[in-house]
Homo-oligomer: A and B are copies of this chain.
Amino acid sequence: MQGDKQTMKIVKQSLEEQAASYLRELILNGNYQMGQKLVESTLAKQLELSRSTVRMALNTLAHEGLVVQKPYIGWQVINLTESDLWELYHLRVALETRAAWLAAEQITEQGKSRLNELMAYYLEAGKTAKVSSYQISKIDLDLHTLIVELSGNQRLQQIYRNVANQIRIYFNIDHADYDLEESALSHVPLVQAICCGNSEKAQALAEENITTYRKIEEKFREQH
C-alpha cells in the first residue's frame, strides 16, 4: 500500500519444474556419478510423483545436456568424454567473447558496480590460499555468468547456462589445486575493458582468458 515494494512472492512452479530443479542440483553437486543410470519408476517413488512427471523432468534435463536418453534402455547422467570437453570449450569461447563484446558495448553504471563488486570479492578470496578446482571454477563461472547476463541477450544467457552446467559436472571430479589469486588477477583487465566500453578489447581479452583454461582440457587428455 505504501511506497515499499511488496515482498510477497507466490512461487508458481509446476511439479515438473520442481523435479527438474531438484535432479539438476543433485547432478551438478556430484551426488550422481557420470554415466549413472536413472530409472523413471525408481525416481517416481523417491520424489513421490508419477512416472509421467518424472519423465518430463528428465526430458528437460536431456535438452539441457545433463542427461542422455537411450531408447528402451534408459536415462543416464551424461558421461563427458574428451571430445565433449573440446566442444564445450569452443562453445564457451564463442559465447563468452560475444557476450563480453556486447557487455562492453552497452555497459551501465549499475552494471559497472556489479562487476567491480564481484571482482573485488574474487580478489579477496584469491588471497586466502590454494583451493580445489571445484571452487575456482565456481567463482570463475560466477564472474563469466555475470558478464553474459550483462550482454542483455537472454537466448545467449540460456545457452551459456547449459554449457556452464555441463562444464561444472566435469569440475566435480577434478580436484587438483590451482592458484586462485592468479586466476582472479587474470580477469582484471577484462573487467576494466568492459567498464570502459572498449568492446573490441573486451572481446579479445575474453578469448585469451578462456584460453588459459585449455590447460585443464589438456590435463584431461593426459589422464585418459
Binding site for B on A (CB under 8 A): 12, 14, 52, 56, 59-60, 63, 65, 71, 86-88, 90-91, 93-95, 97-99, 102, 151, 153-156, 159, 163
Contacts and interface: CB of A to CB of B under 8 A. Distances in A.
Contacts of A155: 65, 87-88, 91, 163
A146 to B, nearest CB: 18
Contact of A98 (B94, B151, B156): B94
Q: How many copies of the polypeptide does the oligomer hold?
A: 2
Contacts of A91: 98, 153, 155-156, 159
Given A59-B59, A94-B94, A98-B93, A87 B52 contact: no
Question: Quick one: which of A56, A71, A90, A156 has the most chain B CB within 10 A?
Answer: A90
A99 B154 CA distance: 21
Contacts of A59: 56, 59-60
A93 B71 CA distance: 35
Given A63-B63, A153-B91, A71 B14 contact: yes
